[in-house]
């Protein structure tokens, strides 16, 4: 009967609020009569402050108890008596011997509960974000002063297979916001489960299918949005992975086109190491095209290629470059270069990272890259500098400034963006 077991037994007793009626229904164990010697022993331990009585904080010495109730109290006494005198320890040891069978059964119940709890894992973060953005004065802008929560769940289904869900909730604190799927190319963010998918393995092949956020490449420039789809991948040699994917976008520029909901993307990605300090990612994809009422292609492309490299150029210094090209007639390339110095670790208070980036996104230069909450729009080019810092464990603060030259239906304009946000991870 080790400490781990006893702690677990106490936890179960407290959490479940063990009652004689509920537990007696499980088996043929007789109740302990109120004149049993253990009543006087437990009463003495209560007076000595070793225990506080029943799991609900009382000790009803005037009524009969089930042996499970008594065992739960004894388990608490064992945990609390490690610093007690020899006389008290001896009394607790006698109680342990008396209720040993029930304690072992509690242990088995704890194991069962722990296995069920291990099947479910919740994680995510809460964000407070503020933008100072010259874009706010332009038509169609989405306000980015808001609180946001991302909640993700993972549930073990079978060996090697997990079911997942994701829920997003966004609340603007300067304007009323109630986003629905399709508004401004956004995903549903009203607190429902917007994304559900499963992940697993078939032999050496990894399988992912469902509705989730998908990112292609190191910087999510080829594609970075929510979609329905499936991907299969495998490590075909040491350090190299091949992935095939089929996606139907739910979010981003592809959805806002006339027949965007019918667009599908299918392709192949290969990622691997070139030496000890360089990685590369190569992507090819083909897509169905969207046409407007006049039968003219709005997407302007049917194929896309992407080449990327990530290199450790010096100690604590990482350089990432992405180049994508489509078969569109114009605006058919997208480029992004990012330099990272150090980086944050949520478990290491005081850790920090500094980064600089340059980007130039053509109107038809990629499928629909991750716009990072509007800070990297399509058909734009510019630069940005940012810093990330972990003031306390599981809390990350990020601040950056960006200058851009943007193009949209209203013409060409300059943009200055300052953003600061704090993420509280759990």
- DSSP per residue over 98-134, as a string? HTHHHHHHHHHHHHHHHHHHHTEEEEEEEEEEEEEEG
Total-model pTM:
0.72
Candidate from 195-199, 208-212, 256-260, 288-292 with smallest mean pLDDT: 256-260
pLDDT at 15: 40
Query: How distant, in Å, are the alpha carbons of 78, 200, 224, 248 from that of 227?
Result: 54, 18, 9, 5
- Confidence tier at 370 by pLDDT (50, 70, 90): very high
Q: Does pLDDT of 418 surpass 60? A: yes
pLDDT digits (tens, 9 = 90+) for 45-72: 877 777 765 555 455 555 676 777 777 7
Q: Is the pLDDT of residue 337 over 50?
A: yes
pLDDT over threshold 60, residue 188:
no
Mean pLDDT of the residues in the chain: 82
Which residue's entry shows tokens 């069920």?
116
Predicted pLDDT of residue 80: 80
Mean pLDDT, residues 252-256: 67
Q: What's the pLDDT band for 91 if we cut at 50, 70, 90?
A: confident
Question: What span, in angstroms and rounded, lies between the C-alpha atoms of 290 and 292?
Answer: 7
Q: What is the dihedral of CA 218, 224, 228, 230, to 10 degrees?
A: -10
In which residue are the tokens 């949209």 written? 408
Q: How far apart are the C-alpha atoms of 311 and 322, rounded to whole Å?
A: 12
Residue 120, pLDDT score: 85
pLDDT at residue 23 in the model: 34
Averaged pLDDT for residues 72-88: 80
Question: In this prediction, what percent of the chain has a pLDDT beyond 70?
Answer: 78
Q: Is the pLDDT of residue 11 over 50?
A: no
CB atoms within 10 A of CB 223: 28
Query: Is the pLDDT at 30 greater than 90, yes or no?
Result: no
Residues recorded for the chain: 426
Q: Distance between CA atoms of 204 and 404, rounded to whole angstroms?
A: 45
- List the structure tokens of 57: 């904080």
**pLDDT, tens digit (0-9, with 9 covering 90-100), for 215-252:** 999 999 999 999 999 999 999 999 999 999 999 998 77
Instruction: Choose between 302 and 16: higher pLDDT.
Output: 302
Higher pLDDT, residue 273 or 105: 273
Beta bridge pairs of residue 112: none
Query: Is the pLDDT assigned to residue 181 strictly greater than 70?
Result: no
Residue 28 buriedness (CB in 10 A; 0-12 / 13-18 / 19+)? exposed
Q: Please give the pLDDT value at position 292.
A: 56
Report the Cα 416 to chain-centroid distance in Å. Answer: 31
* Whole-number Cα distances in Å, 110 to 10, 386, 419: 10, 48, 47
Average pLDDT over residues 95-114: 79
Instruction: Please tell me the distance from the alpha carbon of residue 318 to that of residue 320, in angstroms, as a whole number.
Output: 7
d(C-alpha 278, C-alpha 272), whole Å = 9
* pLDDT at site 22: 34
Q: What is the rounded CA–CA span in Å between residue 13 and residue 55?
A: 6
């Amino acid at each position: 009967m080790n400490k781990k077991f006893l702690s677990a037994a106490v936890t179960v007793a407290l959490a479940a609020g063990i009652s004689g009626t509920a537990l007696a229904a499980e088996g043929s164990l007789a109740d302990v009569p109120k004149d049993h010697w253990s009543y006087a022993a437990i009463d003495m331990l209560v007076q000595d402050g070793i225990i506080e009585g029943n799991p609900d904080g009382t000790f009803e010495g005037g009524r009969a108890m089930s042996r499970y109730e008594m065992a739960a109290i004894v388990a608490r006494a064992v945990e609390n008596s490690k610093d007690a005198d020899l006389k008290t320890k001896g009394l607790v040891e006698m109680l342990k011997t008396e209720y040993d069978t029930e304690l072992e059964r509690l242990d088995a119940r704890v194991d069962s509960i722990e296995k069920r709890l291990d099947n479910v894992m919740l994680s995510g973060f809460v964000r407070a974000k503020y933008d100072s953005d010259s874009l706010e004065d332009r038509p169609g802008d989405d306000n980015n002063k808001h609180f946001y929560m991302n909640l993700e769940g993972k549930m073990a289904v079978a060996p090697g297979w997990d079911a997942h869900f994701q829920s997003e909730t966004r609340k603007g604190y300067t304007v009323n916001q109630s986003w629905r799927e399709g508004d401004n190319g956004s995903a549903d963010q009203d607190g429902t489960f917007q994304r559900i998918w499963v992940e697993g393995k078939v032999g050496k092949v990894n399988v992912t299918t469902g509705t989730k956020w998908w990112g292609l490449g190191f910087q999510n420039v080829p594609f970075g949005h929510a979609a329905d789809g499936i991907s299969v991948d495998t490590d075909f040699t040491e350090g190299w992975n091949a992935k095939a994917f089929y996606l139907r976008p739910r979010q981003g520029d592809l959805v806002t086109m006339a027949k965007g909901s019918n667009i599908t993307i299918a392709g192949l990605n290969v990622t691997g190491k070139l030496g000890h300090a360089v990685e590369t990612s190569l992507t090819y994809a083909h897509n169905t095209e969207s046409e407007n009422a006049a039968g003219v292609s709005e997407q302007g492309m049917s194929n896309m290629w992407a080449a990327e490299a990530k290199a450790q150029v010096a100690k604590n210094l990482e350089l990432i470059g992405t180049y994508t090209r489509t078969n569109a007639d114009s605006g058919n390339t997208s480029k992004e270069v990012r330099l990272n110095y150090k980086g944050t670790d949520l478990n290491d208070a005081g850790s920090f990272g500094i980064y600089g980036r340059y980007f130039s996104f053509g109107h038809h230069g990629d499928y629909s890259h991750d716009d990072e909450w509007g800070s990297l729009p399509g058909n734009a080019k510019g630069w940005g500098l940012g810093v990330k810092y972990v003031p306390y464990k599981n809390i990350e603060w990020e601040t950056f400034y960006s200058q851009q030259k943007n193009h949209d239906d209203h013409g060409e304009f300059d943009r200055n963006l300052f953003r600061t946000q704090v993420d509280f991870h759990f």
